[in-house]
Amino acid sequence: MIEKSYVMVKPGFANHIEVINEIKKCIWALGLKIIKGEYVSYSPDLAKKHYAEHVGKDFYPKLEKYITSDVAYGMIVEGENAIAKIRRVVGSTKNPEKGTIRREMPKMIGREIDTTENVVHASDSQESAEKEIAIFEKLINSNEKI
- Whether this prediction's pTM lies above 0.85 is answered by yes
Nearest 10 degrees: CA dihedral of 86, 92, 93, 99?
Answer: -80
Could you read off the pLDDT of 34-92 as tens digits, one per residue?
999 999 999 999 999 999 999 999 999 999 999 999 999 999 999 999 999 999 999 99
Could you read off the pLDDT of 105-126 as tens digits, one per residue?
998 888 888 888 899 999 999 9
Which residues span the domain enclosing 88? 2-141
Residue 24 lies in a domain: yes
CATH classification at residue 89: 3.30.70.141
121 is catalytic: yes
Question: Taking Cα atoms as reference points, which of 60, 57, 120, 50 lies closest to residue 88?
Answer: 120
Q: List, as one string, the DSSP characters of 115-126.
A: SSS-SEEE--SH
Residues in the chain: 146
